[in-house]
Amino acid sequence: EPEVTQTPSHQVTQMGQEVILRCVPISNHLYFYWYRQILGQKVEFLVSFYNNEISEKSEIFDDQFSVERPDGSNFTLKIRSTKLEDSAMYFCASTRGGAFNQPQHFGDGTRLSIL
């Protein structure tokens, strides 16, 4: 079964540094998402992306965040100047869209640790 793949699985970064998290959505999916989950807490929506542009973003997704689909397969989340509170598990998800009976399929996540 096709999967959403994310790299790296774990990223350790110094505070203030830039970090890029990478995702390869399922190939025939059209809608892409980033969520984050701080340890032990609920999953929080960051941003959705469709047709090469952001379609929705949450309050968390401020100016230090950006997303890009640089080619036909990758979908990236960039955090420009990381803060301690950015430490979390970041999940990428995708869905084919159209019919609402399609769930969002999640990758295994990238654990981001800011020191």
Partner 1 sequence: ELKVEQNPLFLSMQEGKNYTIYCNYSTTSDRLYWYRQDPGKSLESLFVLLSNGAVKQEGRLMASLDTKARLSTLHITAAVHDLSATYFCAVGKSGGGADGLTFGKGTHLIIQP
By the rule CB under 8 A, 56 interacts with partner 1: yes
Nearer of residues 74 and 102 to partner 1, judged by Cβ: 102
Cβ at position 9, least distance to partner 1 in Å: 10
> Is the separation of the CB atoms in 74 and 23 below 8 Å?
yes
By the rule CB under 8 A, 50 interacts with partner 1: yes
Q: How many CA atoms lie within 13 A of 23 on its CB side?
A: 31
Cβ at position 24, least distance to partner 1 in Å: 14
Buried residues in 64-95 as b, exposed as e (16+ CB within 10 A): ebebebeeeeebebebeebeeebbbbbbbbbb
Fill in the DSSP letter of residue 9: S
The residue from 67, 77, 82, 109 that contacts partner 1 (CB under 8 A) is 109
From the list 15, 32, 114, the residue with the least C-alpha distance to 77 is 32
By the rule CB under 8 A, 28 interacts with partner 1: no
Cβ at position 10, least distance to partner 1 in Å: 11
The residue from 7, 13, 22, 44 that contacts partner 1 (CB under 8 A) is 44
Q: How far apart, in whole angstroms, are the C-alpha atoms of residue 28 and residue 41?
A: 31
By the rule CB under 8 A, 65 interacts with partner 1: no
Positions touching partner 1 (CB under 8 A) are 30-31, 33, 35, 41-48, 50, 55-56, 58, 91, 95, 97, 100-109
